[in-house]
Structure 1
Amino acid sequence: MNSFFYKGSGVNVLVLVILLGFVLTGCNFLPALNPSVETGTPSPVPSLITQTAPNPALTKEPLVLEDFDLFQPGLVKSQHLILEKLKTANQYDLKLFVATDRKSINVEQVLRMNNQENIPLMDLYFHLFANYSGGKIVFSQILINGQEANYQLEAEDTILHIKLVEPLPVGESLVVTMLFDIQIPTVMGGNYGIFGYFDSVLVLDTFYPMLAVYDADGWHNQKPDPVGDLSYTDASFYLVSVDFPAELVAVSSGLEIENSAAGDRTRSVFAIGPARDFYLALSEDYIKVSEQVGEVLVNSYARPSEEDGANIALDAAVHALNIFSSYFGDYPYTELDVISSPMQAMGIEYPGIVGIGINLYELDQKTGRTLNPDILESVVVHEVAHQWFYNLVGNDQVNEPWLDESVSQFATGIYYEERYSATVGEQYRTSWMGRWNRIQQEKIPIGLPVSAYDAKTYSPIIYGRGPYFLFELEKTLGSDLNAQFWKKYVAKNQWQNSTTSAFQKLAEEECGCQLGDLFIDWVYEVE
């Protein structure tokens, strides 16, 4: 195995990584686990609720977010106006009590939702991804507007189905209150092993009941697929109170707006919105390095032995933030966190925070420096790109994964070209071919749902062939028009859910041309 370095702009770019396609961005790649998982016996935790107050009755006036002040500090100034536009978006209010042994969490969840669809809703569906990933959600009470709800678990306990007593009319609102305990796994499960307590880090990926999306295809309430990412969500607002052992450091989506201590416990309150979901990690081992970039504070968390990797991750995140904000439009939040996290992927994206696999922070025993800094850099950049593609511009990650994964790969190529040189950008793009070559450049469409791929084809097509399509699109449009298209695409679709057809339509409007043949060659399945 031969390797050599390209030296440019004072930075070494490991071309071996690029040529072999080993720049393994998280969100994907390792096969699904779902083994028999030990959850242990959870420690008893005190109830958060001593009395249940009745919730607001159904009203013809939609429930609206009243206290914008909670969320405005977490948004850059160019995003402040969005609060008024999204005032009827879903609102999650979560109260968590984390057990001392980290093996269970007691939760009160209140969801205020408005029916923004074009038909009355007879049912509500929630994803229970914790049950899929090796944990277990045990409900003690579910209320609709203060009344006991009629519900059942479906799809092997990965879907909560609530049958409404009366249809929820268009434009009207209700409140869903849930009391439950979560048993935390200590053995990795699910697709990437990103929910549980591992290596002294409590990682809470999609841990709470998440309202499924209702769109033109109806409710998206299927059981998770063992390939690809799990979630497809609408932009919502989150206010999350966490009571946890005082020795832990909490890192989450959003800003910490309140912190207090009592004995051996700490209580923090976090606020974020709009956002696709909420993520939380807690560890007693985290240290932090930070850098202010305009309105945005960038933090990099890792274990003390990983400080070199924390600085590498910080440097990559800062440069990616600047490059992508210039190319695609402003990053929406005033904080961006990068954390070293246990997982069986290379990295994973969440609103305002990205998790990077702990193994990428491994030290070279001879030099005491990070063993693979180039891979660490590329993974951080890819995951930061997801702040625009998945979060700011949403998409169905289950049925159209290319719209965020392939696009984030393409964006990573922009980073290398803008930060270093056109030569380095071209060398990075050879990693896409390295992946695609794993299946001999088979021309499988990139626009298929994750269920159409398997562990062998998903990565080569979505992370290899997919960004090549976007490179071909750039050559078709020309670099200037392509850059103009991307800024307009993000601006037009921010906090909405985009689709392949909407992507093609806007590209054709920008170029004043027909791109059907290009999309047929690369994206669509032709029968």
Structure 2
Amino acid sequence: MVGMKKIIVSLLVSIVLLSACTSPKPDKTMPASTPEPMVEVTNTDIPTEETQPVQNNPDQDGFAWGESQYYLDGLIKEQQPVLVELANFNEYHVWVTVANNLSQFDGRLDLRFVNQESVILDKIYFHLYPNYQGAALDVFQVLINDVQADWAYLADNTILEINLPESLNPGETAFVTLDFTSSIPTVMGGNYGLFGYFNGVLVLDTFIPTLAVYDDTGWHAKKPVPVGDLSYSDAAFYLVEVTAPEELILVTSGIELEHTVEEGKQVALFSAGPARDFYLAGSSSFQKWQGQIGEVTVNSYTFPEFEDAGELALNFAETALSVFSTRYGNYPYTEFDVISSPMQALGIEYPGITGIALDLYRLDESANNKTYLESVIAHEVGHQWFYNLVGNDQVLEPWIDESVTQFVTGVYYEDTYGLPAAVQYRTSWDSRWKRVDRETIPIGMEAIDYFDNSYSPIIYGRGPYFLMELRDTMGRGTFDIFMRTYVETYQWKIATTEGFRQLAEETCACDLTALFEEWVYEE
């Protein structure tokens, strides 16, 4: 571990986890321990420039499409063979210029879109998430293969519908160009205040126009719902050039490839992928603490006055990465970042990076904040496996990432501190579930269907108990095999409730119908 003090934390009495909801805070902390390092895997089957086929012409600024070298250093060796399939992923090339006064940004998106469906497509749809988050994102030009396309705003300007000049057959590729500009709000809006400039921190959540998912039910192109998380995305690759004021310390998904400074402006090029999204944050006041676990560099960013919390955040992130890598397969990237930022939640996950509520870094204001800081970081690190590596529809089936991640946070405590600490942690689930009098509301409903503030009690409270029942039914050893196989099977894909159940039944050679009917399915 580089540049970091050893941390000793006092005994846990109770822990309550929050990610994007509010709940009672925990009381005290428990002793930390040093985990085993991540399992290192040597893989010599690494794609090179020669093994990756050339994919059409470069974009308008000369960046080649389908160029594996952009993304190679951001992936651990074990994951690098995925670049052989780069041509089958959507690829975003993005240019964004942030104004000197941080009031707006201008952007251009070039997207290489491959029709992976079995149907002919005449339209495509993009999510404009900033328009749900208190900003005003305007698209002023749309090109398909360099031809002007007709387009329209839908769903209160949160969806962009594009009519393709020519139908796109299965297996064919289209090149999409969007020119856009967006305001940067200073008052927190929808989605927990994750988009804007607040208290000296620039946070741009889902700022890139994002292609909607097309699956067996068609396009998922609706306005975000005011419950739970808002995104549902295919894994893609991102090459993002950011021009911003020189004084901003930028933190993003992925890794930095290039960085120059001239006349008060910095130009930084970042790459990320495969990933469900690309996140951008920055502050002129950030200070960095850094550690290393195997191939992974871990960075913690916060303000200098929160040095103790910044070092703790680094320690907690390293521990969680080690625990989950041992349990569910190695963390896929060579970098992981934790930042402190203002928000109306306690934490939020993005590929390769997590944002943690700034208030939790104020250790002197509450004895509980240290415990809270750990539980939230452990939860958000867990999402690197369950949301990003294994994708799902967070709107229609939120339990698949949130309930599972809540459960594996309990695993984190058991593996780090022992079973008694995990048992104490699980009382936080019960505290949530009791908010709805432990009603047996199914965990498998759409987020919007949880009325009377029942989303958090069921998804975060009842949900992880289902995973415990599933483990008891399958047997701990078989269940552990299933969870690791689940990640291997669905990495960079989309998991569903039925896929989860089918793989579980195959693994245990048992019928789980009754269990799923009791806990997951609606009547």
Aligned to 2:225: 225
Aligned to 2:17: 23
Aligned to 1:216: 216
Is 2:417 the counterpart of 1:424? no
Aligned to 1:485: 482
**Alpha-carbon distance between aligned partners in 1 of 2:295 and 2:172, rounded to the nearest angstrom:** 37
> What is the deviation of 1:371?
5.5
Taking a change above 3 Å as real, the CA distance of residues 92 and 124 of structure 1, as seen in their structure-2 partners, is: same
**Alpha-carbon distance between aligned partners in 2 of 1:319 and 1:471, rounded to the nearest angstrom:** 23
Give unpaired runs (5+ residues) of structure 2. 1-6, 24-54, 58-63
What CA deviation, in whole Å up to 9, does each residue of 1:248-291 have, x standing for no partner?
10000000000001011111100011000100001001001010
Runs of 4+ in 1 over 6 A off after TM superposition: none
8 A Cα contact 1:56 1:145, kept in partner: no
Aligned to 1:97: 97
Aligned to 1:290: 290
Aligned to 1:234: 234
Is 2:329 the counterpart of 1:332? no
3-state SS, counterpart of residue 428 of structure 1: helix
3-state SS, counterpart of residue 447 of structure 1: coil
**Alpha-carbon distance between aligned partners in 2 of 1:116 and 1:29, rounded to the nearest angstrom:** 39
> What is the deviation of 1:191?
2.1
Q: For residues 63-462 of structure 1, what are the structure 2 equivalents within 5 Å?
A: 65-364=65-364, 372-454=369-451, 456-462=453-459
Q: For 2:20, give the aligned amino acid.
A: C
Is 2:506 the counterpart of 1:509? yes
> What is the deviation of 1:300?
0.5
Taking a change above 3 Å as real, the CA distance of residues 87 and 393 of structure 1, as seen in their structure-2 partners, is: same
8 A Cα contact 1:290 1:300, kept in partner: yes
- The total of aligned residue pairs comes to 481
What CA deviation, in whole Å up to 9, does each residue of 1:18-40 have, x standing for no partner?
3xxx422x23449xxxxxxxxxx
What CA deviation, in whole Å up to 9, does each residue of 1:53-106 have, x standing for no partner?
xx979xxxxxx9531011010000110111113422100000111001101001
Aligned to 1:473: 470
8 A Cα contact 1:364 1:371, kept in partner: no
**Alpha-carbon distance between aligned partners in 2 of 1:227 and 1:371, rounded to the nearest angstrom:** 27
**Alpha-carbon distance between aligned partners in 2 of 1:471 and 1:371, rounded to the nearest angstrom:** 27
What CA deviation, in whole Å up to 9, does each residue of 1:92-147 have, x standing for no partner?
00011100110100101101101000101111010011001000112221111111
> What is the deviation of 1:323?
0.6
Q: For 2:212, give the aligned amino acid.
A: A
Q: Using the aligned pairs only, state the percent identity.
A: 51
**Alpha-carbon distance between aligned partners in 2 of 1:225 and 1:261, rounded to the nearest angstrom:** 40
3-state SS, counterpart of residue 230 of structure 2: coil
8 A Cα contact 1:97 1:242, kept in partner: yes
Q: For residues 42-61 of structure 1, what are the structure 2 equivalents within 5 Å?
A: none
3-state SS, counterpart of residue 496 of structure 1: coil
The alignment's C-alpha RMSD in Å is 1.7
> What is the deviation of 1:311?
1.1
What CA deviation, in whole Å up to 9, does each residue of 1:287-341 have, x standing for no partner?
0101000000000000111111111111111011001000000100000000001
8 A Cα contact 2:321 2:331, kept in partner: yes
TM norm structure 2: 0.90
8 A Cα contact 2:144 2:165, kept in partner: no
**Alpha-carbon distance between aligned partners in 1 of 2:472 and 2:11, rounded to the nearest angstrom:** 25
What CA deviation, in whole Å up to 9, does each residue of 1:394-414 have, x standing for no partner?
000000000000011011000
TM norm structure 1: 0.89
Aligned to 1:33: none
8 A Cα contact 1:56 1:175, kept in partner: no
Taking a change above 3 Å as real, the CA distance of residues 326 and 56 of structure 1, as seen in their structure-2 partners, is: closer
> What is the deviation of 1:370?
7.0
